[in-house]
A and B are shown apart, each in its own frame.
Chain A
């Protein structure tokens, strides 16, 4: 582990972009000393001035000096210093967590929420597609919160075959609720297409990237998170989706309380 003049104060002074630079450098520590500033800027999609600002905040005159220090630190192969490493990790973790949530929160417009409430306020049956794995935990969460806030007619679908069967025969007066952490899971895409063909409205929560499911949805919530997997076992953070569900339900309850008091 290379330390590079990092202490708590320095790290706290870094902006979210600069932290992302730092993170990239740590993830690719052996490659960076051989990169030019333009190559690095291209790889991380930040401007060269962000990189220079980052180097200056770490106490270097510019990128070249930073690279030099990096190279000599790597050669020293100094022992990991647990403490500052932990500070760095937790700071990077919480900052990127917060950045994702903040960005996700900005995508939650009043129009999206109100379009959703129109459906929630009706008696229209809501079908929740539970594809298994981590995403099913989200569906269960949504289901419980819907029931707890007094919404009836919520039906969970647990298998692909059942889902195809049900959606094929759904009337237009129903809603299909879809959550996809990747936006690219084939059975979920197929289901969204099927609903679309039958003109069944779809409410979805999908990544901010261009994805088929969002395009097929009547109401499309988006979230920010990096896609991640461990040799095929996917563990993309679901927190932004939890947060989206939480905000939908919080606003929904608020609206119900307001109506009740009118």
Chain B
């Protein structure tokens, strides 16, 4: 229960003001985002009535009432963050991810990506987003490469892969075992493997010549993968920027 609304029950309210209170109690999560006009229309009352209601609770006006309500709402449920907090927190996570990157490795990876060796980029499920993004951007930067979005196809490619090939694998999967055969094939053929993941303990790390581990968190919503991979996308963007720097005409 929200203390402010509880307190309101003890205030001497008119019938209309009582309606306002009831409305807030029943529609709390949406009502805190309404403006004064919307609310007065919804309640068939005047702005002045609502403001009077707020003043009876000892507040200066409607905005202060909303602010107080939002504050108490987030305090009453510590799991909930206001969207402002969520924005700040996400920005901090984004920064942390950048700060933890090893730029020496990224330089080496960039050099591999701009070499003329055959390049395969793999990502499936939501990881196909960073894979496609990289492949599209590289193409626009005059680097031809091959995008693979299916695990089976990747496996069949690795049976005949050349030793000068580069395999760029993006996976957040906890179940890395399904890639074991692929990574072993690549190793046998002497293929250079670059792994981008967010699994610190991934068993694929020892099989990869270069690996970047981001701070994305594997999350599910109703058993569906909902990991946004924003950390991985950031790494991809940094690589694209590094490659763009190598374009003729740049210092």
Contact = CB atoms under 8 A, between A and B. Distances in A.
A105 interface: yes
Interface in A85-118: 86-87, 89-90, 93-94, 97-98, 101-102, 105, 108, 110-111, 113-114
B241 A243 contact: no
A259 interface: yes
A138 to B, nearest CB: 8
Interface stretch (A13-21, A56-64, A162-170, A228-236): A228-236
B33 A102 contact: no
B7 to A, nearest CB: 21
Contacts of B251: 1, 26-27, 29
Interface string A175-195: 000000000000000000000
A128 to B, nearest CB: 14
Contacts of A120: none
B104 to A, nearest CB: 8
Contact of A97 (B87, B142, B238): B238
**What size tier do the contact residues of chain B reach?**
35 or more
A113 B83 CA distance: 9
B91 A102 contact: yes
Contact of B91 (A87, A101, A140): A101
A38 interface: no
Given A97-B237, A102-B91, A249-B228, A110 B33 contact: yes
Contact of A134 (B136, B221, B222): B136
Given A29-B251, A238-B133, A258 B29 contact: yes
A101 B83 contact: no
Nearest to B220: A148
B162 interface: no
B244 A228 contact: yes
Interface residues of A, number: 54
B141 A233 contact: yes
Contacts of B140: 134, 229-230, 233-235
Interface string B80-103: 111110110011001100100001
Interface in A128-142: 133-134, 137, 140-141
A239 B29 contact: no
A158 interface: no
A150 to B, nearest CB: 6
Contacts of A254: 80-81, 83, 86
B163 interface: no
B117 to A, nearest CB: 21
A220 B95 CA distance: 26
A150 B132 contact: no
A247 interface: yes
A187 to B, nearest CB: 18
Contact of A246 (B103, B132, B133, B228): B228
Given A105-B91, A235-B140, A134 B133 contact: yes
Interface string B207-238: 00000000000000110111010100110011
Contacts of A242: 230, 233
A118 B142 CA distance: 43
Contact of B228 (A29, A134, A140, A145): A145
Nearest to B245: A89
B221 A235 contact: no
A141 B251 CA distance: 34
A156 to B, nearest CB: 14
A50 interface: no
B86 A90 contact: no
B77 interface: yes
Nearest to A141: B129
A251 interface: yes
A90 B242 contact: yes
Given A114-B33, A235-B244, 10 more contacts: A86-B107, A90-B242, A93-B241, A97-B234, A101-B94, A140-B128, A234-B140, A239-B233, A247-B90, A251-B83
13 contacts: A1-B251, A87-B103, A110-B84, A144-B129, A148-B226, A150-B221, A228-B244, A238-B237, A243-B94, A243-B230, A247-B86, A258-B29, A261-B79
3 smallest CB-CB distances across A and B, nearest first, come from A233-B140, A239-B237, A93-B241
